Amino acid sequence: MTAPRHRTGQRGFTLVEAVIVIVIIGVVGSMVALFIRAPVQAYADSVGRAELSDTADVALRRMARDLRLALPNSIRVSGDSLEFLITRTGGRYLSADDAVDGLKVLDFLDPAEKSLTVVGPMPGAAELTPGRDYFVVNNLGPGFPAGDAYDLLNPKRNIARVSSADAAGKLLELDDNPFALQDAPSISPDQRFYIVSGPVTYYCGVEPGGTLRLLTRQSGYPITVNQVVNPVPAGAASGVRGLLASNVRSCSFQYEAAVNLRSALVILTLELQPYNSTDAVIRLVHQVHVDNTP
In SS3 terms, the chain reads as CCCCCCCCCCCCCCHHHHHHHHHHHHHHHHHHHHHHHHHHHHHHHHHHHHHHHHHHHHHHHHHHHHHCCECCCCCEEECCEEEEEEEEEEEEECCHHHCCCCCCCCCCCCCCCCEEEEECCCCCHHHCCCCCCEEEECCCCCCCCCCCCCCCCCCCCCEEEEEEEECCCCEEEECCCHHHHCCCCCCCCCCEEEEEEEEEEEEEEECCCCCCEEEEEEECCCCCCCCCCCCCCCCCCCCEEEEEEEEEEEEEEEEEEEHHHCEEEEEEEEEECCCCCCCCCEEEEEEEEEECCC
pLDDT at 13: 66
* Tens-digit pLDDT profile for residues 245-269: 988 999 999 999 877 778 899 999 9
Percent over 90 (pLDDT), the chain: 53
How many Å is the Cα radius of gyration of the chain?
33
Domain chopping of the chain, boundaries: 49-83+199-291, 85-197
Q: What's the whole-model pTM score?
A: 0.83
pLDDT at 194: 95
Percent over 70 (pLDDT), the chain: 87
* Tens-digit pLDDT profile for residues 45-57: 666 677 788 888 9
d(Cα 115, Cα 169) in Å, to the nearest integer?
12
Please give the residue that has the higher pLDDT: either 70 or 5.
70
Count of residues making up the chain: 294
pLDDT at 1: 52
* Tens-digit pLDDT profile for residues 7-55: 555 566 677 777 777 878 877 777 766 666 666 666 566 666 777 888 8
pLDDT at 53: 82
> Confidence class of residue 3 from pLDDT cuts 50, 70 and 90?
low
pLDDT at 12: 65
Q: Decide if 148 contacts 139 (C-beta within 8 A).
A: yes
